[in-house]
Amino acid sequence: MNKYIYDNCELIKVSDFDKISFTSTEDSIIIQVLKLSNEKNKFDKLIFNEIDLDLEYDLSAYLKDENSCKSIKEITEELEECFVNFMDSSDERIFKIFNKIEKIATPIDPLSFANLLI
């Protein structure tokens, strides 16, 4: 089954990549994806292709939010864990990255949620 990352602009097919890694900078998450393939050219010679792509997402708005209680490192680690679970699950096909980041960076406080219901 094909899997995709959706970043509120485009769908990026990630099920074809051989290596996906998560890193962070001071205020951004970088998802590095790598696709390796061996193909034959028109002369029947084996050629090695490498597609390397960095998907960088600025999280400064989430880090400056007063409701955010996590560092960029914590957000990156939790996002990577969510992504691994997503890739292993058979029912989800689209990883909506900013929905996940928002849930990780600004979790709902049960007490404030209870106050909304009163």
Full domain range(s) for residue 82? 4-117
Helix (H) or strand (E) holding 19: strand 19-24
Residue 84 confidence class, pLDDT cut points 50, 70, 90? very high
Confidence (pLDDT) at 44:
75
**Could you tell me which of 53, 97, 92 has the C-alpha nearest to residue 75?**
97
Residue 8 confidence (pLDDT): 87
Give me the number of domains the chain comprises. 1
The CA distance from 84 to 86, in Å, is: 5
- pLDDT at position 39: 72
